[in-house]
Chains A and B, each alone.
Chain A
Amino acid sequence: DTEVTQTPKHLVMGMTNKKSLKCEQHMGHRAMYWYKQKAKKPPELMFVYSYEKLSINESVPSRFSPECPNSSLLNLHLHALQPEDSALYLCASSQVSPDTQYFGPGTRLTVL
C-alpha cells in the first residue's frame, strides 16, 4: 500500500470556525509532512514530524496546529483562519530524508 489518504477533500469554513484536516499512511513511514500550495505556486513546507515529534515548523502562524497522534496519523487543526489561508493543503510521508515523499491528494480549503 503506497497510498497517503487525506480527508476531507474539500472544506469551506468561516473565520471563527474550528476544523481539522486528517492524513493517514500505512507504509510504515516515520516522517510526515504538511504542505500548503496556492494557485500557480509551488508547495510550501509547513511542518515536519519525525518519529512522531515535531522537527520542523516553518514559522507557521499559531492558527495552524499540527498533531501526530501515532506513526500513521497526522492532523492539522485549524482555528480563526483568514481568507488568505485558502489553499490546497497536502500531506506527505517518507521513510527518512532524502527518500521519496509520497503525497496525498490534498484538501482544498476555502476560508470565507
Chain B
Amino acid sequence: ILNVEQSPQSLHVQEGDSTNFTCSFPSSNFYALHWYRWETAKSPEALFVMTLNGDEKKKGRISATLNTKEGYSYLYIKGSQPEDSATYLCASGGSNYKLTFGKGTLLTVNP
C-alpha cells in the first residue's frame, strides 16, 4: 500500500447501530496514525493519535485500534447517534510533521 486508503467511502446506518470503518496505510517507516472527525462547515476535530502496534484508544462511544505490522486501523462507533454523522478521516504521520490523509468515510446516521 503506497497511499492511505479508507473504506467504505460512505455508510448509512440507523440510530443505535454499531459500525466500523477501516484505514490502511504503508506499514514501512510507520510513525503515527491520526483519526479526525469532520462535520460540514466545521473544523476537523482530532479524535486519536496512535503510535504503538496494538494501541487501542477510546473516547466515549468511539474507539480505535492499530496494527502497524499489517498497516491498518479500525474505528468503531457503538450505538450510533445522528450527531455522529460526519466524515471520518485517517492520516498517517511522519516525524517531519507531514500528514498523508485518506479520502475519508462519510457516515450518515438516520434517526
Interface residues of A (CB under 8 A from B): 4, 31, 33, 40-45, 48, 50, 55-56, 90, 94, 96-106
Inter-subunit contact B89/A42 (CB<8 Å): yes
Contact of A98 with B32 at beta-carbon distance under 8 Å, contacts A4-B43, A103-B43, A104-B43 already known: yes
The answer for the CA separation of A42 and B36 in the assembled complex, in Å, is 12
Provide a sorted-by-A list of 8 A–B residue pairs whose CB atoms are within 8 angstroms: A31-B97, A45-B100, A48-B97, A97-B98, A98-B31, A98-B32, A98-B51, A101-B46
| B94 interface residue (CB < 8 Å to A) | yes
A101 touching B34, Cβ below 8 Å: yes
Determine the interface band of chain B, counting residues with CB < 8 A from chain A: 20 to 34
A90 contacts which of B34, B44, B95, B97 (Cβ < 8 Å)?
Answer: B44
Q: Is the CB of B98 within 8 A of A48?
A: yes
The 5 closest A-B pairs by CB, nearest first: A98-B32, A42-B101, A100-B46, A97-B97, A103-B44
Chain B residue nearest in CB terms to A45: B98
What B residues does A101 contact at CB under 8 A? 34, 46, 99
A43 cross-chain contacts in B, Cβ below 8 A: 44, 89, 99, 101
